[in-house]
């Protein structure tokens, strides 16, 4: 949940966001950027327009994304992350500088249709133990004052008004990483939700302004809440639709991203000559999964029916693809080989990573990976259960 303040042009409105989603008439989507290999912003903007998505909510300000949104006709909400709330709450000057750099400049020089600022990202979650309770509202007040000073709005009254607009900021269903996170449930939930959003509620009939959570999977998101955190997108990491979904304005279903470039069609898998009893297997899988995304492994997930070799191969390939198919990223000691035969099985897809403008880097697995600590011990334990 977040707090919104803003609206350039006529009004500055303050909203307490409930949960998110999209409406049939006025659909929006949350555009997260915590991906190791993000699609180019221009590709995602075209994806939004091709699917009739008229609004987008950003969790942070990325100049390259705002530049791509310039002149697109898409309404934009820019977010302020929680770690900035304290500085903005304690300094009007800091709020004015933030507005000048992240709102005014993009509206005036790039014709970005910024409509709202989301102050904080779920700052009142109980798991945050009140960390942002004292700074969220003062930050909102200072940001709103800065917007008014910049000529981007006028102040209106937080509650007590019967016709106060409500924005549903996030709503959706994950497709993997948990027993109850799958494509069937996600399609049923999202389609059912949108079919009701044009009607509103008994107390508030009419179209609801809402945002889907989320647009595209993010393979670098924190999995502290659960492995499903990386699988909220209605589109896969490469912009392909996960399931059929009618967004109202686009009744034919979702349209895939265009002109996406992939790395070579090759995968890193466990060598057929390697024994499952090899003492290097467990630490190698642990290393791979602590440096890449293995959240599709485990009970009830899309790759939950793999055998032991399948689990190991998935972990190796995830690391290999995340490191841009570097030769050194498929050199687990005596365990792995590169293959051009797709190892995918049924709904369990072994990725081929997309090509981005930031290719390079990676890690040299052969130089002492066993000394690296694992931060995914629970996931390793689940995989070892499968091995046994």
Q: Could you tell me the strand order of the sheet in which 75-80 lies?
A: 13-16, 3-6, 114-119, 75-80, 55-58, 27-31, 209-212, 167-171
Cβ–Cβ < 8 Å for 215, 31? yes
The residue annotated as part of the active site, out of 170, 218, 229, 322, is: 170
3-state SS assignment for residue 236? coil
96 a catalytic residue: no
Distance CA(78)–CA(58), nearest Å, equals 5
- Residue at token pair 């309404």: 75
The 8-class DSSP code of residue 210 comes to E
- Going 33 to 303 to 314 to 286, the CA torsion angle's sign is positive
What does the H/E/C string look like for 122-159?
Answer: CCCCHHHCCCCHHHHHHHHHHHHHHHHHCCCCCECCCC
Q: Is the peptide bond before 214 cis (omega within 30 degrees of 0)?
A: yes
Contacts of 42 by beta carbon, 8 Å cutoff, 6+ apart: 68
Distance CA(366)–CA(334), nearest Å, equals 10
170 a catalytic residue: yes
User: Each residue of 177-195: b (16+ CB within 10 Å) or e?
Assistant: bbeebbbeebbeebeebbe
Distance CA(112)–CA(100), nearest Å, equals 14
Cβ–Cβ < 8 Å for 313, 350? yes
Contacts of 378 by beta carbon, 8 Å cutoff, 6+ apart: none
Query: Which residue, 21, 118, 115, is CA-closest to 60?
Result: 118
Active-site residue set:
122, 170
């Amino acid at each position: 949940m977040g707090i919104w303040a803003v609206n350039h042009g006529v009004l500055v409105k303050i909203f307490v966001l409930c949960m998110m989603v999209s409406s049939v008439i006025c659909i929006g989507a949350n555009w997260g950027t915590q991906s190791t290999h993000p699609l180019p912003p221009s590709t995602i903007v075209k994806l939004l327009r091709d699917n009739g998505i008229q609004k987008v909510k950003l969790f942070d300000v990325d100049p390259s994304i705002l530049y791509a949104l310039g002149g697109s006709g898409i309404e934009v909400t820019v977010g302020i992350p929680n770690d900035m709330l304290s500085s903005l709450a304690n300094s009007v000057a800091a709020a004015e500088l933030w507005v000048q750099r992240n709102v005014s400049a993009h509206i005036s020089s790039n014709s970005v249709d910024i409509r709202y600022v989301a102050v904080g990202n779920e700052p009142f979650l109980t798991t945050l133990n009140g960390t942002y309770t004292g700074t969220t509202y003062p930050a909102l007040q200072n940001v709103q004052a800065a917007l008014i000073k910049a000529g981007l709005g006028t102040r209106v009254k937080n509650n007590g008004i019967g016709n106060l607009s409500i924005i549903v900021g996030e709503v959706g269903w994950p497709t993997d990483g948990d027993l109850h996170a799958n494509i069937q449930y996600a399609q049923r939930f999202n389609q059912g939700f949108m079919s009701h959003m044009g009607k509103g509620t008994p107390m508030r009939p009419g179209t609801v302004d809402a945002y889907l959570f989320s647009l595209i999977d993010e393979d670098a998101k924190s999995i502290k809440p659960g492995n499903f955190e990386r699988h909220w997108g209605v589109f896969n990491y490469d912009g392909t639709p996960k399931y059929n979904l009618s967004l109202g304005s686009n009744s034919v279903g979702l349209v895939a991203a265009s002109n996406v470039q992939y790395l070579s069609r090759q995968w890193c898998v466990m060598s057929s000559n390697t024994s499952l009893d090899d003492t290097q297997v467990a630490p190698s899988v642990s290393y791979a999964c602590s440096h890449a995304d293995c959240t599709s492994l485990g009970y009830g997930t899309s790759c939950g029916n793999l055998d032991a070799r399948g689990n190991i191969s998935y972990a190796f390939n995830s690391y290999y693809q995340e490191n841009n198919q570097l030769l050194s990223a498929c050199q687990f000691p005596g365990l792995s080989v590169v293959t051009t035969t797709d190892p995918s099985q049924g709904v369990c897809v072994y990725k081929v990573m997309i090509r981005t403008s930031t290719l390079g880097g990676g890690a040299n697995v052969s130089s002492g990976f066993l000394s690296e600590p694992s931060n995914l011990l629970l996931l390793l334990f689940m995989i070892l259960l499968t091995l046994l």
